[in-house]
């Protein structure tokens, strides 16, 4: 007989484990079977137990995975791979704190593990530690590529030294243009600088090179949301959830995106489902409160904000969210808590300014106006320091628009844009009554209110691509021909279409800042309706000053800037009236309050809509409202807001002096001409 081949049991075991590990990402069921066969032969084999635990988790059974992995971790205290898988399973089981501990143990044992930093970032996000998650993601990128340039760029990102990070990444990409980690890092830099279009393009490159790069896809969806393209963002979130349906970061983003596309019912349900698994998340309770508020579920909204505060009493934004309900009143114990928070030395700036605005509102409700104003002023000073505003830039912008956008300019380009008459733009200053006008019109059967949309400002930003100053906008706009103007109009209609949830022929875009884009609207959407919501400059100015806006209204954090902005706005609109007579309907808030029925009829006539009684019963409309006036427009017309600013008149001299002749010309009973 010939010689028999020698049997190598160790080699066979190694091969079987390698094959089971290979099967994990391809067919976890077969991986589990392979691991089970190994354990049948060698019951204590740790690598096979690890594969089996991982297979149970990937198959959607984290409890079964933990039954295997927790004892294995006790037996193998120095096995980084075991603690990595244990952390993943604990996270999916909703044990976020334990997951973080396990992942930190894994990273202690293997500090350069990209998967460890990625998973830790997700769990820190779920715990509400956004700063820690950002740091972990930067360290993930550091671990993902050991190139010295990327290591330096990652360190700069951790330190938020964006110029250094930008320079190192661009240098690296000049010789390694397909490095997806570097592309994603550069997109992170662009996002932090609010260059969202650049970030989007970089992330699109990432995903074209590596469609399975989930972190890049997550960032891509977030950037799309920032640019108002929530419908497309939702598609990418759904792709992420198809791969990891229990990932809390993806589910939180899903809820936020659903709110942005107007599906508040589903958004609320997603938040509630995730919070049942991860109830110790104050910022997620706050986000749930925002969605409940928009949907008009006021008592549930207050309860959600209270839950957020109970979990983190220093979460200033939750306190401000309560104050921002307008109809809510703080108790004496609440006011003591607000004062106590402001007395803390360790309060970060963002929380402090929220507390200042919240206490200002609480004291206003108690008629303690001088102290109330001091807190509004303190909050505004903090906000302005973080977000400087150039009044001269706005003045120069208006000067150039007036110079270039003449009657002849518009006549030469008449009829060049998209012909659709669907949009109704309500614009002006914030807090000027635009939400009231929107609610009235949205109560008509032929009109849908979609709230404040970012599409038109994004088109304006794209017109200024290349970092050109805002003041050059009028000159840049003049360079486009009829076909390009029509494409801009069609783009606006295309990007807003997914946000329309009814078959109403008209929809409302009530972004206040569009007041400086009336010329753009005229050129790209010549048949759209434009309504200018106007309010007494002192009433409107002070209402803006005491309102903490999340973003985009940097002129409101100084009374001087507010006065000058209002003056430039009215100067610009007067020019539009002169070169495009009758194009814009002006509606004064005071007139709407004093003579509601006639003003509603005037509004409907301008829009070419027949009268409907529902427009006078706008407060009965249960549609979602996202602005600061959401509770107020669910009440009948009331007069209390007309004179509220007079309580603060002793401190409004900077606003008055910068309004100048605008204040002198504003009539007590406006004529709506």
If one counts every other C-beta atom within 10 angstroms of the C-beta of residue 579, the result is: 17
Which DSSP string corresponds to 328-389? ----HHHHHHHHHHHT-TT--HHHHHHHHHHHHHHHHHTT-HHHHHHHHHHHHHHHHHHS--
- Is residue 630's pLDDT more than 80? no
The residue among 370, 673, 398 whose CA lies nearest residue 515 is 398
Label residue 641 by pLDDT band (50, 70, 90): low
Residue identified by tokens 């200053």 is 429
Tokens describing residue 54: 């991982």
pLDDT at residue 140 is higher than 90: no
**How does pLDDT run across 8-58, given as a tens digit for each residue?**
455 688 888 888 888 887 888 999 998 999 998 899 999 999 999 999 998
Residue 534 in 3-state DSSP?
A: strand
**What CA–CA distance (Å, rounded) separates 187 from 170?**
11
Sorted by sequence, the CB contacts under 8 Å of residue 246 that are 6+ apart come out as: 60, 62, 92
Q: Percent of the chain scored above 90 by pLDDT?
A: 63
* Order of strands across the sheet that contains 584-588: 447-449, 506-509, 423-428, 529-534, 584-588
Of 635 and 107, the structure prediction assigns the larger pLDDT to: 107
Query: How many C-beta atoms surround the C-beta of residue 152 within 10 A?
Result: 19
Per-residue pLDDT tens digits for 147-193: 677 788 888 888 889 999 999 899 888 878 877 888 999 999 999 88
Confidence of residue 349 (pLDDT cuts 50, 70, 90): very high
Is the pLDDT score of 3 beyond 50?
no
Residue 670 CA to residue 587 CA, distance in Å, equals: 9
| DSSP letters for 406-448 | -HHHHHHTTT-S-----EEEEEESTTSSHHHHHHHHHTSTTEE
Model-level pTM?
0.74
Q: Which residues, other chains included, contact 668 with Cβ-Cβ below 8 Å and sequence gap of 6+?
A: none
DSSP element (H, E) containing 530: strand 529-534
- The residue among 209 and 100 whose pLDDT is bigger is 100
Eight-class DSSP state of 95: -
Are 487 and 504 in contact by the 8 Å Cβ rule? The answer is no
pLDDT of res. 514: 95
Model confidence pLDDT, tens digit, residues 565-610:
999 999 999 999 999 999 999 999 999 988 999 999 999 999 999 9
**pLDDT reading at 378 higher than 50:** yes
**Among 58, 54, 47, CA closest to 16:** 47
> To which residue do tokens 């009028």 refer?
474
* 201-239 tens-digit pLDDT: 999 998 887 787 888 999 999 999 888 788 899 999 999
Looking at residue 478, its pLDDT comes to 93
Beta bridge partners of 531: 426, 585
User: What's the average model confidence in pLDDT over 198-203?
Assistant: 94
DSSP H helical segments within 42-147, as ranges?
46-58, 62-75, 80-92, 96-109, 114-126, 130-144
Q: Is the pLDDT of residue 511 over 80?
A: yes
3-class SS at 651?
Answer: helix
**Burial (CB count <10 Å: 0-12, 13-18, 19+), residue 467:** exposed
Q: What is the pLDDT of residues 262-319, one digit of tens each?
A: 888 999 999 999 999 889 889 999 999 999 998 889 899 999 999 999 999 999 999 9
The whole-number pLDDT of residue 627 equals: 46
Closest CA to 335 of 325, 323, 326: 323
pLDDT score recorded for residue 623: 45
pLDDT of residue 637: 60
Could you tell me the domains of the chain?
391-665 (3.40.50.300)
Provide CB contacts within 8 A for 477, sequence distance 6+.
463, 519, 520, 523
Question: Across the chain, what does the average pLDDT equal?
Answer: 88
Give how far Cα 266 sits from Cα of 251, 260, 292, 387, Å: 12, 11, 11, 34
Is 395 exposed, middle or buried, given 0-12, 13-18 or 19+ CB atoms closer than 10 A? middle
Distances (CA, A) of 286 to 194, 214, 346, 361, 569: 24, 26, 22, 19, 34
- Token representation of residue 159: 């330190």
- Interval 524-554: pLDDT, tens: 999 999 999 999 999 999 999 999 887 779 9
What is the structure's pLDDT at 622?
A: 54
Report the distance separating Cα 508 and Cα 449, nearest Å: 5
Give the model's pLDDT for residue 631. Answer: 45
């Amino acid at each position: 007989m010939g010689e028999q081949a020698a049997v190598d049991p160790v080699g066979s075991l190694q091969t079987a484990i390698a094959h089971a590990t290979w099967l994990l990402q391809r067919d976890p069921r077969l991986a589990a079977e392979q691991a089970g066969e190994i354990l049948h032969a060698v019951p204590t084999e740790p690598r096979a137990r690890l594969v089996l635990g991982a297979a149970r988790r990937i198959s959607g059974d984290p409890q079964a995975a933990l039954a295997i992995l927790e004892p294995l971790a006790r037996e193998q205290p120095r096995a980084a791979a075991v603690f990595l898988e244990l952390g993943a399973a604990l996270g999916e089981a909703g044990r976020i704190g334990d997951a973080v501990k396990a992942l930190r143990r894994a990273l202690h044992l293997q500090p350069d593990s990209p998967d460890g930093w990625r998973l830790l970032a997700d769990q820190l996000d779920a715990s509400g530690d956004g700063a820690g998650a950002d740091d972990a993601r930067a360290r993930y990128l550091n671990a993902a590529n050991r190139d010295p340039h990327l290591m330096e760029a990652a360190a700069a990102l951790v330190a938020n030294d964006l110029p250094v990070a930008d320079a190192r990444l661009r240098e690296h990409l000049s010789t390694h243009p397909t490095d997806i980690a570097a592309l994603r890092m550069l997109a992170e830099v662009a996002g932090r600088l609010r260059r969202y279009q650049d970030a989007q393009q970089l992330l699109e490159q990432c995903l074209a090179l590596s469609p399975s790069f989930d972190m890049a896809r997550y960032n891509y969806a977030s950037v799309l949301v920032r640019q108002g393209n929530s419908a497309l963002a939702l598609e990418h979130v759904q792709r992420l959830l198809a791969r990891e349906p229990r990932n809390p970061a993806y589910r939180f983003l899903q809820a936020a995106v659903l709110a942005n596309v107007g599906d508040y019912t589903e958004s609320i349900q997603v938040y509630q489902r995730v919070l049942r698994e991860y109830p110790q998340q104050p910022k997620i309770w706050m986000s749930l409160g925002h969605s409940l508020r928009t949907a008009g579920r006021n008592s549930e909204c207050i309860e959600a904000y209270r839950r957020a505060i109970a979990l983190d009493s220093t979460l200033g934004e939750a306190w401000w969210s309560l104050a921002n309900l307008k109809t809510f009143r703080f108790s004496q114990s609440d006011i003591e808590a607000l004062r106590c928070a402001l007395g803390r030395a360790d309060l970060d700036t963002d929380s402090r300014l929220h507390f200042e605005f919240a206490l200002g509102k609480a004291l206003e409700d108690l008629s303690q106006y001088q102290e109330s104003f001091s807190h509004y002023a303190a909050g505004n000073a903090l906000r302005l320091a973080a977000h400087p505003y150039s009044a001269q830039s706005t003045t120069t912008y208006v000067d150039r628009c007036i110079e270039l956008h003449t009657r002849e300019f518009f006549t030469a380009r008449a009829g060049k844009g998209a012909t659709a008459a669907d949009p109704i733009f309500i614009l002006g200053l914030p807090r000027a009554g635009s939400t009231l006008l929107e609610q009235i019109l949205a109560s008509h059967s032929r009109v849908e209110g979609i709230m404040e949309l970012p599409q038109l400002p994004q088109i304006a930003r794209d017109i200024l691509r290349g970092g050109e100053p805002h003041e050059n906008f009028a000159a840049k706009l003049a360079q486009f021909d009829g076909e390009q103007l029509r494409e801009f109009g069609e783009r606006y209609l295309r990007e807003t279409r997914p946000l329309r949830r009814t078959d109403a022929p008209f929809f409302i875009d009530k972004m206040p800042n569009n007041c400086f884009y009336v010329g753009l609207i005229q050129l790209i959407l010549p048949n759209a309706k434009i309504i200018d919501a106007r309010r007494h400059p002192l009433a409107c100015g002070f209402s803006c000053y005491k309102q903490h806006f999340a973003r985009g209204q940097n002129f409101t954090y100084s009374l001087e800037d507010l006065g000058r902005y209002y003056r430039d706005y009215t100067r610009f609109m007067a020019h539009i009236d002169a070169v495009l007579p009758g194009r814009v309907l002006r509606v004064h808030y005071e007139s709407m309050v004093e003579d509601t029925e006639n003003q509603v009829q005037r509004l409907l006539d301008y829009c070419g809509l027949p009268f409907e009684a529902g427009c006078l019963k706008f407060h009965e409309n249960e549609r979602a409202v996202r602005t600061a006036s959401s509770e107020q427009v669910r009440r009948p017309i009331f007069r209390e807001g007309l004179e509220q600013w007079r309580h603060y008149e002793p401190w409004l001299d900077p606003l008055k002096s910068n309004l100048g002749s605008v204040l002198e010309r504003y009539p007590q009973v406006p004529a709506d001409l």
